[in-house]
């Protein structure tokens, strides 16, 4: 019985993040699409299926454009400060914001693809991204942090490794990510 419960919990850990993410995206676009459909049918007397998706993408792009203006920066800072101070919300908000900005923000963190020797005797290497080069505040002088994305998954692990076992790769970060996430199936294009 213990094994069955353990298998169930393991299965839940595997499916829950994907299911919840897909459901939230579906819910947001479904609500947006139905609202847009209602507006079009009530005021313009016609309906276009999927218009909510188009309007949603345009609104997100417009919001990104407006977010770069000098007028919206103070509003963005106030909202950011409020969400970072709210109990429980701050953990979720800061984690999501940091993760998203690491991939697509102005302060990209996964921009240094590296090859790390993980087993000296068998000459085994693993590809990842150098994320922190100075760990003196953790009293780890000759160590760096490397993030290893998982293949065929949007998760990964962070390791602290000896600096001399890390080799910078001469490929773009996007090529490295495609190569890792695909399990080494995609072709890497060198600059």
pLDDT at 158: 75
Query: Residue 142 gets which letter from DSSP?
Result: T
- The band of 47, judged by pLDDT with boundaries at 50, 70 and 90, is confident
Is the distance from CB of 112 to CB of 129 less than 8 angstroms? Answer: yes
pLDDT at 105: 59
pLDDT at 119: 82
Give the pLDDT mean for 87-111.
Answer: 68
Give kind and range of the element (H or E) at residue 133: none
pLDDT at 174: 77
Lowest model confidence (mean pLDDT) among 79-88, 103-112, 166-175? 103-112
Res. 154: pLDDT tops 70: no
Is the distance from CB of 161 to CB of 147 less than 8 angstroms? Answer: no
Please state, in angstroms and rounded to a whole number, the distance separating the CA atoms of residues 50 and 171. 38
Please state, in angstroms and rounded to a whole number, the distance separating the CA atoms of residues 40 and 69. 31
Is the overall model pTM greater than 0.95, yes or no? no
Angle between helix 72-85 and helix 89-104 axes, rounded to 10 deg = 130
Res. 55: pLDDT tops 80: no
Res. 25: pLDDT tops 60: yes
pLDDT at 189: 60
Round the average pLDDT of the chain to a whole number and report it. 76
pLDDT at 56: 75
Q: Is residue 38 helix, strand or coil?
A: helix
């Amino acid at each position: 019985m213990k094994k069955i419960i353990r298998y169930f919990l393991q299965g839940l850990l595997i499916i829950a993040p994907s299911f919840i993410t897909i459901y939230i995206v579906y819910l947001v676009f479904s609500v947006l699409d139905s609202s847009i459909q209602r507006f079009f049918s009530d005021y313009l007397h016609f309906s276009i299926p999927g218009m909510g998706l188009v309007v949603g993408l345009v609104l997100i792009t417009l919001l990104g454009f407006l977010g770069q203006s000098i007028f919206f920066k103070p509003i963005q800072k106030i909202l950011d400060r409020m969400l970072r101070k709210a109990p429980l919300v701050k953990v979720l908000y800061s984690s999501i914001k940091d993760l998203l900005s690491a991939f697509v923000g102005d302060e990209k963190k996964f921009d240094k693809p590296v090859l790390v020797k993980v087993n000296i005797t068998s000459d085994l290497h693993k590809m990842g991204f150098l994320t922190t080069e100075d760990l003196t505040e953790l009293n780890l002088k000759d160590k760096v942090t490397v993030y290893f994305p998982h293949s065929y998954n949007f998760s990964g692990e962070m390791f602290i490794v000896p600096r001399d076992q890390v080799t910078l790769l001469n490929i773009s970060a996007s090529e490295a990510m495609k190569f890792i996430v695909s399990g080494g199936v995609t072709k890497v294009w060198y600059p």
